[in-house]
Structure 1
Amino acid sequence: MDTVTKFTEVKGARKYRRRTVDQQRRIVEETLSSMRSVVEIARSHEMNANQVFDWRKQYLEGRLGVNGRECALLPVTVNEVNDSNVDEAAACPPAAPSPDAIRIQLPGGDIHVEGSVDPDRLRVVIQCLSR
């Protein structure tokens, strides 16, 4: 009796890429500043989204080499106020803020910052409100 032997090629073990801390930080910052989802960004870097979520957690906790005292500035645009678009409640001048106060208006709500604030917490709040 004749036997037929079928040859199949066995692929090698999956190769994992090692990313430097700078690469990890750059990918995480892309997820925080981009309007794309974490999954889309992970796919674009050919990696698992769970890994990016883990790096994000480490980043926000300051464990990816980010100094918690460093603060990055966000891009700001200033719009001219048109008198016809201002309602009566908004027309009243607000109370005079302290000189070190910051007011940020986002689609999801306003942020008023006075005194010293943890930059990582502020980054998370801004990220959540800008969605």
Structure 2
Amino acid sequence: MIYRLLADGMMILHGAFLLFFVIGGFLAWKWRRVIWAHLAVGLWNITIVLLDFECPVTGVEKHWMRKGGEEPYAGGYIKHYLDGTIWPAGYTWLAEIVGFALLVISYIGLYFVSRHSRRTREDSVESRT
């Protein structure tokens, strides 16, 4: 029972990790320090996609499934849980492009939001003097 809960917890954590990959850059528009964690997540995902290896988080989930007496699913987390559910089966390549495009768009937006905030602060300081 405990191993199944651990496997389920790892599955939820993995999903949160992927969700953060997609929206974390936008969260940084409001909370700037988030960008450092998001950069790490982005680099991690780029590495996994380019080098095409199984995410260790998936391995941990499968380990807990085995310990709980369950047969782990074949393939990776994305193929098992998302491909054919969140997007049409076989279009993970397109989901990856969209995910990385959102990362780039969020960083471009962060640049402009930061620049606007900086100008607003500078204007505020100048108006006080």
TM over 0.5: same fold?
A: no
Q: Which has the higher contact order (CA 8 A, sep 6+)?
A: 2
TM-score, normalising length from structure 2? 0.31
Pick the structure with greater CA Rg: 1
Greater strand content: 1
Greater helix content: 2
TM-score, normalising length from structure 1? 0.31
